[in-house]
């Protein structure tokens, strides 16, 4: 697949197509080529990381004028963490267009979280050099808005598992267990269904775009049942 095809997926047109090619070039690809003119994406990744931090901080500063600095920092960290950026990369099919070495590819390099995150950062760095900050902001905003909703939803439920564990150990003398029930969707946009088990009974389930998010949703659902008085406390271990 060509970089020009990838531009259509990104909905971005580079003035200098070589920058996009470099952004998609993993170090392992360089190591297997006999061409000293080739450059990997690590410098672009460094720049893109800094640009991302600024754009995200600026967006959150404007969107939440009453939010405290500590909360802004936590939300920004959630948006730019490796797993979050890798999810964005998967949604844009970055792995399909990566130039990686054969060894790296055989070891699952196209779906490796770190590779995807770094490539996404490199693409941001390349776009910044090619077209400036406003182009980066225009490209990122819809993706960050969607990601922000997911991150904030996870943040709202971040203590659900610990609260459920405290309740179940105090009232049932058991520790909750979580098991994967099903996955659906393509590799770049999977959804997980996980149920929470207390003793021998599956009491609730939850869905999410990561196993962690799905298990938090399941715990939150179980807590809602408990609060509503719809949970049988005679569960046996």
Tokens 């020009």 correspond to what residue? 4
Q: Taking the chain (237 residues) in consecutive chunks of 10 residues, what is each chunk's mean pLDDT?
A: 85 94 95 86 97 94 85 84 91 94 91 94 98 96 82 64 89 93 83 92 88 87 84 53
> How are the residues of the chain apportioned to helix, strand and coil, as percentages rounded to the nearest 5?
65, 10, 25
Which domain covers residue 133, as residue numbers?
A: 3-155
Q: Are residues 32 and 142 in the same domain?
A: yes
Whole-angstrom CA distances from 162 to 157, 219, 234 are 10, 9, 21
Kindly state the tokens that stand for 20: 């996009």
Active site residues: 49, 121
User: What CATH number is given to the structural domain containing 16?
Assistant: 1.10.1520.10
Q: Select from 167, 157, 144, 148 the least CA-distant residue to 212.
A: 157
Q: Select from 68, 74, 75 the least CA-distant residue to 145.
A: 75
Give the pLDDT confidence score for residue 235 in this predicted structure. 44
Q: Are residues 8 and 83 in the same domain?
A: yes
Q: Are residues 112 and 221 in the same domain?
A: no
3-state secondary structure of 201: strand
Q: Are residues 96 and 109 in the same domain?
A: yes
Phi, psi (degrees; rounded to nearest 5) at 151: -65, -40
* Residue 151 counted as domain residue: yes
Strands 177-184 and 191-198, sheet pairing: antiparallel
How many domains does the chain fold into?
2
Phi, psi (degrees; rounded to nearest 5) at 64: -130, 75
Of 138, 155, 172, the position where a domain reaches its end is 155
Residue 96 burial by Cβ neighbours in a 10 Å radius (0-12, 13-18, 19+): middle
Q: Are residues 148 and 189 in the same domain?
A: no
Give the pLDDT confidence score for residue 181 in this predicted structure. 95
pLDDT digits (tens, 9 = 90+) for 64-95: 888 888 878 888 888 898 988 998 999 999 99
* Residue 67 counted as domain residue: yes
CA quadruple 135, 55, 42, 122: dihedral sign: negative
Q: Are residues 145 and 197 in the same domain?
A: no
CB atoms within 10 A of CB 205: 19
């Amino acid at each position: 697949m060509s970089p020009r095809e990838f531009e259509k997926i990104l909905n971005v047109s580079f003035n200098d197509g070589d920058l996009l090619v470099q952004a998609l070039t993993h170090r392992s690809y360089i190591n297997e080529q006999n061409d000293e003119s080739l450059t990997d994406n690590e410098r672009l990744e460094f720049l893109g990381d800094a640009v991302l931090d600024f754009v995200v901080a600026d967006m959150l500063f404007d969107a939440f004028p009453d939010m405290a600095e500590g909360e802004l920092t936590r939300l920004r960290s959630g948006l730019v963490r490796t797993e979050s950026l890798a999810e964005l990369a998967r949604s844009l099919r970055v792995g399909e267009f990566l130039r990686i070495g054969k060894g790296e590819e055989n070891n699952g390099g196209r779906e490796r979280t770190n590779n995807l995150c770094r490539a996404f950062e490199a693409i941001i760095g390349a776009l910044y050099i090619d077209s400036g900050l406003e182009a980066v902001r225009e490209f990122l905003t819809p993706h960050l808005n969607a990601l922000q909703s997911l991150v904030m939803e996870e943040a709202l439920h971040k203590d659900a598992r610990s609260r459920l564990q405290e309740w179940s150990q105090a009232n049932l003398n058991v520790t909750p267990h979580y098991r994967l029930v099903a996955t659906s969707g393509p590799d770049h946009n999977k959804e997980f269904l996980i149920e929470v088990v207390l003793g021998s009974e599956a009491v609730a389930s939850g869905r999410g775009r990561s196993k962690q998010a799905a298990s938090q949703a399941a715990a939150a659902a179980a807590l809602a049942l408990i609060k509503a008085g719809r949970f049988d406390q005679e569960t046996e271990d």
